[in-house]
Amino acid sequence: MKTIAIIGLGLIGGSMGLDLVQRGYRVIGITRRTITCQQALERRVAHIAGTDLSMVETADLVIICTPISHILNTLEAVTPFLMPHAVVTDVGSVKSAIVSAATELWPGFVGGHPMAGKATAGLEVAETGLFVDCPYVLTPTATTDPQALATVRTLAQDLHSQLYECAPQEHDRAVAWISHLPVMVSSSLIRACEQEADDRVLALARSLASSGFRDTSRVGGGVPELGMLMARYNQTALLQSLALYQQQLLELTELIEAADWSALENWLLQTQQARPAYL
């Protein structure tokens, strides 16, 4: 593998470009806006950059770094230009909705999800080493070409990520728990507080909120489009997680209603003991 095309030069695509140029690959950057091409060249994110999808024609590996809603139509648009041996991967945060359709469009497709991010998006905040020690999940299926899988494994290793491999559905259930459910839990907290009918109490709550509220509400105050896309593309797994969450919340509420304080303390002890496994 010598030439890598990156489609979409935001935080993820841009940061990949920075690392891959440094590792000696020939990197082609493709983006929708001409001004981003100039920035990409200035920041050495790619050796050449342009807006024309046919630029993938010399690429051994194509990494689609567009928003999740554009992955499949981007893949469809580039397939006429791909070399027969070309491998294509994506960086979308859900996989079931992408992988089977993408594999039908291009047999050399391997689903991927490098789990790095920052609070802000865009090429401006792209940085070297963004993926170091971060999980990079690959989601091969029974029909995935082993050579294509090996190529994307090498990419994850080149970025010094921690490689995980699982089925698309397993990935989606796992990220529903630890990424998508927290957004819904957290945004509902903000929304619930805003339901306070007494203006004095609402003003006081806002004034008294500190680190506990700040942390619990953080992901609920994130970019609305991203939260919506999580739900849209991971609807099934998220609804399953939401149902189990509501059940737990109901059990907890019943303990408080019943004033069963020892059971409540025991419940909280279990969550305290369970949490470190996620850190």
Nearer to a second copy (CB atom), residue 104 or residue 260: 260
Closest CA to 164 of 112, 90, 217: 112
Amino acid (1-letter code) at residue 187: S
SS3 of residue 47 by DSSP: coil
Q: Which residues contact 137 (CB under 8 A, 6 or more apart)?
A: 95, 112, 113, 114, 115, 164, 165, 166, 171
Burial of 96 (0-12, 13-18, 19+ CB in 10 A): buried
Q: How far is the CB of 276 from a second copy (least distance, A)?
A: 8
Q: How far is the CB of 227 from a second copy (least distance, A)?
A: 4
Q: How far is the CB of 134 from a second copy (least distance, A)?
A: 8
Nearer to a second copy (CB atom), residue 67 or residue 220: 220
SS3 of residue 30 by DSSP: strand
Q: How far is the CB of 25 from a second copy (least distance, A)?
A: 27
Q: How far is the CB of 21 from a second copy (least distance, A)?
A: 26
In the block, residue with structure tokens 């002890």: 269
28: left (phi over 0), alpha (psi -120 to 50) or beta: beta
Nearer to a second copy (CB atom), residue 52 or residue 257: 257
Nearer to a second copy (CB atom), residue 147 or residue 157: 157
Q: How far is the CB of 72 from a second copy (least distance, A)?
A: 17
How many other C-beta atoms can be found within 10 angstroms of the C-beta atom of residue 163?
14
Nearer to a second copy (CB atom), residue 42 or residue 272: 272
How many other C-beta atoms can be found within 10 angstroms of the C-beta atom of residue 116?
20
Nearer to a second copy (CB atom), residue 83 or residue 185: 185
Nearer to a second copy (CB atom), residue 53 or residue 226: 226
d(CA 139, CA 118): 23
Nearer to a second copy (CB atom), residue 1 or residue 231: 231
d(CA 230, CA 115): 14
Q: How far is the CB of 99 from a second copy (least distance, A)?
A: 16
Which tokens belong to 178?
A: 């630890």
Chain centre distance of CA 121:
12
Q: How far is the CB of 201 from a second copy (least distance, A)?
A: 5
- Identify whether the C-beta of residue 46 lies closer than 8 Å to the C-beta of residue 6: yes
